[in-house]
Copies of this chain bind each other. A is one copy, B any other.
């Protein structure tokens, strides 16, 4: 490894740019050497915007560069597994956006490639690094809530994605709830043994026509006895709603949404505060930076990644079980 860690970013979309910015601004030990995108223009633009020396159309150019120590896989979901496997073979450390893949088999192939080549892989469950949820985890771990009995997660988007996105997304449970499944596993420190999903299409009939749902309530039984509940909506009229509540034998913790300001104004209509920060980029900006710092630290100090491909696999399995539960109208066991 050279004096500075060198990374390549595969995928010059929104999240690729977010990670580039975090690295440039906050991680002086790391240099972004190259970016690639199937849309070459996007790679060029990102390269010039962030002062990245090389821009490619083909990600193999990044994998073949012996100077590059690690890659960030920020391309479309269907390419994650293939690129991750090739990156592992090329002995690059890997940061891979979620989900790794929509099938368990492919995720397992990634796991094997990573192990075989002895590289590190971290999955982009950024919410674990969010200031609010970290505080919740800290209160649990400190024992301030006692034994945890119930974990409740509310996760609602400000507006539904466009229908093309929906078609390729794997559906609500694999695209949206997967973050909540990971959060539930993170907070409980345990594995799900049963899922029951009630879901419906209440917001956008086009979503229903694709066989997908936009509203769901999912209950989870955990191996350690904790009961979990997640509720999702693709559209909250008041904005991005991201809250958790954990109830235990000694107390409860809840988080509220982040808002652009703390201003509270009282007028003839009532007392008003601002809507939540608009969407995931605004809401979770600090967590994207934090996960990137942690990933670089994992490589530089040879640590275990805090979010592994196992975590990606487990959430995928829960998501697939939730899909099945919704279809059957019955709880579904995981093994």
Contact = CB atoms under 8 A, between A and B. Distances in A.
Nearest to A152: B231
Contacts of A329: 331
Interface string A296-316: 000000000000000000000
The winner among A24, A149, A257, A329 for most chain B CB atoms within 10 A is: A149
A267 B144 contact: yes
Interface string A264-295: 11111111111100000000000000000000
Interface in A113-154: 131-132, 134-136, 139, 144-147, 149-150, 152
A263 B136 contact: yes
Nearest to A217: B227
Contacts of A261: 131-132, 134-135, 255
Contacts of A268: 237-238, 250-251, 275
A192 to B, nearest CB: 12
A237 B275 contact: no
A112 interface: no
Contacts of A221: 198
Interface of A: 24-26, 131-132, 134-136, 139, 144-147, 149-150, 152, 156, 196, 198, 200, 202-203, 215, 217, 219, 221, 225, 227, 229, 231, 233, 235-239, 241, 247, 249-258, 260-275, 329-331
B196 A274 contact: no
A175 to B, nearest CB: 19
Nearest to A199: B227
A296 to B, nearest CB: 16
23 contacts: A24-B25, A136-B263, A144-B265, A149-B215, A150-B231, A150-B233, A219-B229, A227-B231, A233-B247, A237-B267, A238-B251, A238-B266, A238-B270, A239-B266, A241-B252, A251-B265, A251-B267, A253-B266, A255-B261, A255-B262, A270-B273, A271-B273, A272-B272
A196 B194 CA distance: 13
Contacts of A134: 261
A32 to B, nearest CB: 15
A264 B275 contact: no
Contact of A203 (B249, B253, B257): B249
B247 A156 contact: yes
B250 A237 contact: yes
B270 A272 contact: yes
Given A135-B263, A215-B227, A217-B219, 8 more contacts: A131-B261, A135-B274, A229-B231, A235-B249, A236-B251, A238-B271, A251-B265, A253-B266
The winner among A152, A247, A266, A329 for most chain B CB atoms within 10 A is: A266
